[in-house]
Amino acid sequence: MVMNKKQKKVLIRIIIAAVLIVMLVLLPIKNEYLRFGLFMIPYLVIGYDILRKAFKGILNRQVFDENFLMAVATVGAIALGEYTEGVAVMLFYQIGELFQGYAVGKSRRNISDLMDIRPDYANVYTDGALEQVDPDEVEIGSVIVVNPGEKIPIDGIVTEGTATLNTSALTGESIPREVETGDEVISGCIDMTGVLKIQTTKEFEESTASKILDMVENASSKKSRSENFISKFAKYYTPAVCIGALLLAFLPPVIRMAFLQMAPAWGMWVYRALTFLVISCPCALVISIPLSFFAGIGGASHEGVLVKGSNYLETLSQTKTMVFDKTGTMTLGVFEVAGVHHNKMEEKELLELTALAESPSSHPISKSLKEAYGGKIDPERVKDVEEIGGNGIVATVDGKRVAVGNGKLMERLGVECNECHGIGTVVHVAVDGAYAGHILIADRMKPHAKEAIQALKKSGVTKTVMLTGDRKRVADEVAGELGIGEVHSELLPADKVSLVEKLLSEQTGKGKLAFAGDGINDAPVLFRADIGIAMGALGSDAAIEAADIVLMDDDPLKIAKAIRIAKKCIRIVYENIYFAIGVKVVCLLLGAVGIANMWLAIFADVGVMVLAVLNAIRALFVKKL
C-alpha cells in the first residue's frame, strides 16, 4: 500500500490514538475528571484537524458538512460521559478517510502515469550547438533531436535515424514500435534505443501529448447525472438530518414533560440524537460516487482509452447501437496490391512497368504500386507522360507505350479488358495497345476488427452499422466479412449525418448510439451521435476534437473494452448508492427508537464508507477481453 507523506502522518496518529484508547479502556480509572482529561488526549490526537475544519466551516458560513456532523456528535458524546464512543467515532472516521485517500491516490497514479508523457524540454540545434529549450518555443518545421531515454516532445517526421519507441503511456500496449526515416512520430512516446532527428509538423500546444493532457485534466469538470444528483442530495440532506437530530433531542423530552407527566430523560434523547447524526453522515455517497467515476476514467486511460468526462462514461454504458466509419476505423486505410490477374507477362515485369508509368503521381494507389514493385524508380526511363482525369495515365516506359487506369481508360483506348471478381480497386494495364492484365488494390482490415464486432455484441450492443463513401460492392464485402449487421455505402459527409439522425430517431428507451470514425469528414457525425469515438493515433485533429472518447492505438477492439469499463463503473455507482442509503435508512430508524447505539452508528457511517470506497476502487481494474 503506497502512501504519501500526509497519509503516513494520519496513519501514525491513528495508531497512537488506538493504543491510548485500548490502554484507557483497560485501566480502572475512578476519578471522572482524570478519566475525562486522559480521554481528551487520544481525542485531540486523532480529531484536532476535524474540529479545526468544522470551526472554519462555521466561520465561512458553510456549516453543514461531514466535519460539522463528526464534531457535534463526538463532542456531544463526550459531554454525556460516553468517552470511549466519542473517541472511537473520530478514530474510525479517520480510518475511513485514510482508505478514501488511498483509493483516490491509486486512481490518480493511473492518470499520473499518463501525465508522464508531458515533455520537459526539446533538443534544438542553435548556432551549431544542441540546446535544451521549452517545447512551447519550438516552431513548426524545426529539427529536434531525441536521444535514447528521452520523450518525443512534439509530433513530427523522422528525418534521420532509427529507433524503438515505447508507446505504452499513450496506447496502453506494451509492444514497442520501430521507426525509421520518413515515419511519422507523435509526442509522448519514449525513445528506447537510437538517436532520432525529427522535423516538427505541429506546435507543442497542438501536439498529441498536449491535447491528451488537456483532455484528461478537463475530464473531471464534466460531471455525470449521478454525480450531480449526489451533490444536490448532500446539499439538502445534511441540513435536513441536523434539523431531524435537533427535533429528536428536544421534542420527545418536551412531550414527556408536558403531556405525559414523565421525566424528560434528556441524556437518553440527546444520545439518540447524536447517534442519529453519526449515522446520517453522507460520506459514503459524497466520496464513493465521484471516486467510482474517477477510478473508471483512470482505469480506461491505463488501457489507452481517453474519456473526456464522467458524463460520457455514463452515456457509453447505455450504448445499444454502434455505428462505424470504414476506412481508417475498421480498415487500416493503407492500400496495397492484393493480386495480379489475367497477366500476359511475368508479374514482376508488369508491376515494374506499372510502377514506372505511375511514378510521377502521388496518389495513394500510385504509392501502393511503387511499393509492390519495390525496385528503384529511374525517371529517365519514363517519357511522354499523359494524365487523363478520371481515367488514368499513359506514358512511354523503355520505349513501350504503357496505359494504366480504370475500365474507362481501356474503353477509351479501344482495349478489351477482363473483369475482376476481387474486392477492391482494379487497375488495368495495357502495353503497346494490347491488354497486359490487371492489378487488384485493396485496403487491409485491421487485425482485431472482426473480433471487435463479436466483443461488442457480447457487451450488450444490439445493432452494428457501417457507413462509408466507398463503393457498394466493397462495403458489402467488408461488412459481411466482419459480421456487421447493416451497411450504407457511397455516402457523402452530409449523408452520414442524415443516416445517424435517422438511427437516433429509431432508438428506444435509454439506448444510446455511438459512432466511431477517424477522418475530418467524420467530425459532424461525431458531434451528432450520443457518443463520438475517435481514432487517436492516426485520426484527424478535427475528429479527435469532436469526439467524447479517444482510442489512442486506433484498435476498434478497445470500443468494447470501453463499454465494459463504463458498465462496470455505473454498476458500482448504483451498488454504492443503494447500499449506502439502504443501510443508513435502517440504522436511522433503529437509532431514533433507541435500538442502535454509537457503535452501530460508527458502522453505518465509517463502515459503509470504507466498504463503498473499496467497492469504488474495483473500477480501476479491467479484465482482458
* Sequence-distant (≥ 6) Cβ neighbours of residue 160 within 8 angstroms: 181, 196, 197
Q: How confident is residue 337, by pLDDT bands cut at 50, 70 and 90? A: confident
* CATH label, 333-444, candidates 3.30.420.40, 1.20.1050.140, 3.40.1110.10, 3.40.47.10: 3.40.1110.10
Q: How many CB atoms lie within 10 A of CB 367?
A: 16
CA 622 to chain centre: 12
What is the spatial distance between Cα 349 and Cα 381, in angstroms, rounded to a whole number? Answer: 14
Assigned C-alpha cell, 120: 520537459
Concatenating the DSSP letter of every residue in 425-471 gives EEEEEEETTEEEEEEEEEEEEPTTHHHHHHHHHHTT--EEEEE-SS-
What is the predicted pLDDT for the residue at 548? 86
What is the spatial distance between Cα 93 and Cα 610, in angstroms, rounded to a whole number? Answer: 9
Task: Single out the residue of 250, 251, 241 nearest to residue 276, CA to CA.
Answer: 241
What is the spatial distance between Cα 229 and Cα 469, in angstroms, rounded to a whole number? Answer: 43
pLDDT at 625 over 60: no
325 is catalytic: yes
Domain boundaries, the chain: 5-112+221-294+568-620, 139-202, 310-330+446-547, 333-444
Concatenating the DSSP letter of every residue in 240-295 gives HHHHHHHHHHHHHHHHHHHTS-----HHHHHHHHHHHHHHH-THHHHHHHHHHHHH
Q: What is the tens place of the pLDDT at every residue in 244-291?
A: 888 988 899 888 888 888 888 888 888 888 888 777 777 667 667 777
What is the predicted pLDDT for the residue at 174? 46
425 has which bridge partners? 441
487 has which bridge partners? 466
Q: What is the tens place of the pLDDT at every residue in 143-195?
A: 999 998 888 889 899 999 988 887 765 554 545 678 889 988 888 788 888 89
What is the arithmetic mean of pLDDT over 381-391?
A: 84
Class of domain 310-330+446-547: alpha beta
Catalytic member of 65, 155, 325, 530: 325
What is the predicted pLDDT for the residue at 20? 93
Edge to edge, what strands does the sheet with 486-488 contain?
Answer: 305-307, 549-551, 531-535, 512-517, 319-325, 463-467, 486-488
* Sequence-distant (≥ 6) Cβ neighbours of residue 354 within 8 angstroms: 369, 373, 402, 404, 427, 429, 439
Determine the CATH number of domain 139-202: 2.70.150.10
The label of the residue with cell 533538443 reads 123
What is the spatial distance between Cα 333 and Cα 441, in angstroms, rounded to a whole number? Answer: 12
CA max distance for the chain: 123
What is the predicted pLDDT for the residue at 110? 52
| Ramachandran category for residue 424: left, alpha or beta (phi over 0 → left; psi -120 to 50 → alpha) | left
38 SS3 class = helix
pLDDT at 86 over 90: no
Q: How confident is residue 200, by pLDDT bands cut at 50, 70 and 90? A: very high
